[in-house]
Chains A and B, each alone.
Chain A
Amino acid sequence: MAVLVLADHKDGALTQPTRSTVAAARKLGEVHVLVAGEGAGAAAAAAARLPGVAKVLTGSEAPALAEPLAAQLVALAPGYSHLLAPASAAGRNVMPRAAALLDVQVLSDVCGVVDADTFIRPIYAGNALATVKSADAKKVLTVRATSFDPVPAEGGNATVEAAPAAADPGLSSFVGAEIVKSERPELTAARIVISGGRAMGSAENFAIIEKVADRLGAAVGASRAAVDAGYAANDMQVGQTGKIVAPELYIAVGISGAIQHLAGMKDSKVIVAINKDEEAPIFQVADYGLMADLFKAVPELEAELAK
């Protein structure tokens, strides 16, 4: 039986976590992709070009709400052995709902596929990895994108067709969205991420980090303390309850390294920590640790990179 991937997309383009989810899905069978929500048409064309995708289904172009989308997934479910989505805010919103409608226990944040029934997922903020076997006839999972190399954006040639319409249960309505516009790469897809913590002291001070980010083509992240204090936007939070990132290079500036923060970045290839406290736990995971005052070190770093 084929497997179905629910795509995440923005401004008509697929997100990188969607391509990682397709990579995970390819281990399970022939891949079909469902694209729904605003801009679905353009994103469906992009999905059709992904290598390994056999069929693309398009759903409603209305803003994606959990209730109708879950109903759509349930309507399509009989044709599939597995339903997958990236473990993004969107995927986490809809997949557990679809799973419950199918009387299936969802598997969240899957970071390894052992076989069709057996998956690996992190628990306790990634302090442990559980290998679990599902007894459910159908599997519903969300996929931790950083654990699967994304399939290339080009190379496939799938057919595109409209998914049969599913009834909207009419339980909620979309009021509006405030999506932050940024020229910088997306946090979960960036090759380099530089994050600031509570020590940044203000939203204005984040500018020194942004300058380094622009030199490196990096995305900007933050600790929860920095977000709670209003120095950074909520969608910049890296950690157990924020975004999971695994870039080539992660630079933590004025971040102590609480387990909840480490949960979101400790799979980065190279970690740099800039902190004035020698005892800060972040140094225990950093490949390169610089004990320094960030207000001196970060501008110096920018200057050095300009050379």
Chain B
Amino acid sequence: MKVLVPVKRVVDYNVKVRVKADGSGVETANVKMSMNPFDEIAVEEAVRLKEKGVAEEIVAVSCGPNAAQEQLRTALAMGADRGILVEHDGVLEPLAVAKLLKAIVGREGPALVILGKQAIDDDMSATGQMLAALLGWGQGTFASRVEKEGDAIRVTREVDGGLETVSVKLPAIVTADLRLNEPRYASLPNIMKARKKPIETVKPADLGVDVTPRLSVLKVEEPAKRQAGKKVGSVQELVEKLRNEAKVI
């Protein structure tokens, strides 16, 4: 089967983002950008499915600026076979991304799409579920284990209170949680090989998708800052303070 893996270019998880002085957004100029960490997990899972002989081809897709080619190259270096960039410079909300991905799915015909559970910039945790809805496919979200079983996929999901297992008919959508796997680092030879793998570029208009945002950002502000408190010298002092000063125990 063919597996499609959408990967998003986001501010690296180690960067402490700053809110712009004019409150219009966060500072993204000159900050390190990376593949969304959950998408690395999604790519890794697809590569493992290929190594097990379950998947035949892996196509990585990114919707975003031209620079998102870098993230596609990372996916190719990890083991994806080819990339598709849906090039667009403005804001892309999950609904718009899901519509673009639906169009790509229509062209590519994958049996499985593995997304990240959440993009660490918008923290929406929505695109996979929205794509499943638009395609009329089943969904296995927040996956910590994925196994193909005949014409279905068995997904163990991280839910409140523990784990839940569902069986989803193929074609299906899976979103990757942190514990699905530990993504590999691309080796140097694989990084070199990835340079020769093809990346196709299309525009939202080529796919006939209207990506106009539904949300307008009125302002972006920093949350109230917490002040560092005091150091206590002993456990006795800590308990005394919690009892008599903070009055929380």
- The CA-CA distance from A192 to B247 in the complex, in Å, is 12
- Report yes or no: B230 in contact with A288, Cβ–Cβ below 8 A: yes
The stretch of B11-19, B52-60, B66-74, B184-192 in contact with A is: B11-19
Q: Among A66, A96, A234, A289, which residue has its beta carbon within 8 angstroms of that of B229? A: A289
Residues of B166-221 whose CB lies within 8 A of A: 166-169, 172, 177-179, 213-221
- The CA-CA distance from A180 to B161 in the complex, in Å, is 6
Closest Cβ neighbor of B215 among chain A residues = A132
Closest Cβ neighbor of B240 among chain A residues = A304
Residues of A251-307 whose CB lies within 8 A of B: 259-260, 266, 269-272, 283-292, 297, 300-301, 304-305
- Report yes or no: A169 in contact with B136, Cβ–Cβ below 8 A: yes
Closest Cβ neighbor of B246 among chain A residues = A270
A side interface size, CB within 8 A: 90
- Report yes or no: A290 in contact with B179, Cβ–Cβ below 8 A: no
The stretch of B82-90, B103-111, B117-125 in contact with A is: B117-125
Chain A residues, Cβ within 8 Å of B158: 89, 234-235
B side interface size, CB within 8 A: 81
- Report yes or no: B232 in contact with A67, Cβ–Cβ below 8 A: no
Q: Among A8, A93, A99, which residue has its beta carbon within 8 angstroms of that of B142? A: A93
Closest Cβ neighbor of B235 among chain A residues = A300
- The CA-CA distance from A65 to B231 in the complex, in Å, is 48
- Report yes or no: B163 in contact with A171, Cβ–Cβ below 8 A: no
- The CA-CA distance from A95 to B164 in the complex, in Å, is 18
Q: Does B141 contact A (CB under 8 A)?
A: yes
- Report yes or no: A134 in contact with B215, Cβ–Cβ below 8 A: yes
- Report yes or no: B220 in contact with A130, Cβ–Cβ below 8 A: yes
Chain B residues, Cβ within 8 Å of A270: 242, 246, 248
For B131, B144, B160, the residue with the greatest tally of chain A CB atoms inside 10 Å of its CB is B160
Known: A109-B123, A133-B216. A290 touches B138 (CB 8 A): no
**Binary flags per residue of A99-126, CB closer than 8 Å to B gives 1, else 0:** 1110111111100000000100011111
- Report yes or no: B136 in contact with A301, Cβ–Cβ below 8 A: no
- Report yes or no: B129 in contact with A97, Cβ–Cβ below 8 A: yes
- Report yes or no: B160 in contact with A235, Cβ–Cβ below 8 A: yes
- Report yes or no: B123 in contact with A125, Cβ–Cβ below 8 A: yes
Chain A residues, Cβ within 8 Å of B127: 96
Chain B residues, Cβ within 8 Å of A288: 229-232, 238, 241-242, 246
- The CA-CA distance from A66 to B141 in the complex, in Å, is 9
- Report yes or no: B232 in contact with A290, Cβ–Cβ below 8 A: yes
Closest Cβ neighbor of A99 among chain B residues = B130
Q: Among A67, A103, A180, which residue has its beta carbon within 8 angstroms of that of B162? A: A180
Offer 11 A-B interface pairs, CB within 8 angstroms, sorted by A.
A10-B161, A96-B133, A107-B215, A123-B122, A135-B214, A175-B165, A241-B178, A248-B248, A249-B246, A288-B238, A300-B235
Pairs of residues from A and B, 3 with the lowest C-beta to C-beta distance, nearest first: A171-B138, A287-B229, A96-B126
> Which B residues lie at the A interface, using CB under 8 A?
11, 13, 16-17, 19, 26, 38, 93-95, 98, 117-118, 120-134, 136-142, 144, 154, 157-169, 172, 177-179, 213-223, 226, 228-232, 234-236, 238-239, 241-242, 246, 248-249
Extra A-B contacts (10), CB below 8 Å, given A131-B221, A135-B216, A178-B163: A97-B130, A100-B130, A170-B169, A177-B163, A227-B179, A235-B161, A248-B248, A270-B248, A287-B229, A289-B232
> Which A residues lie at the B interface, using CB under 8 A?
8, 10, 65-67, 70, 88-90, 92-101, 103-109, 118, 122-136, 169-180, 188, 192, 216, 224, 227-228, 233-235, 240-241, 243, 248-249, 259-260, 266, 269-272, 283-292, 297, 300-301, 304-305
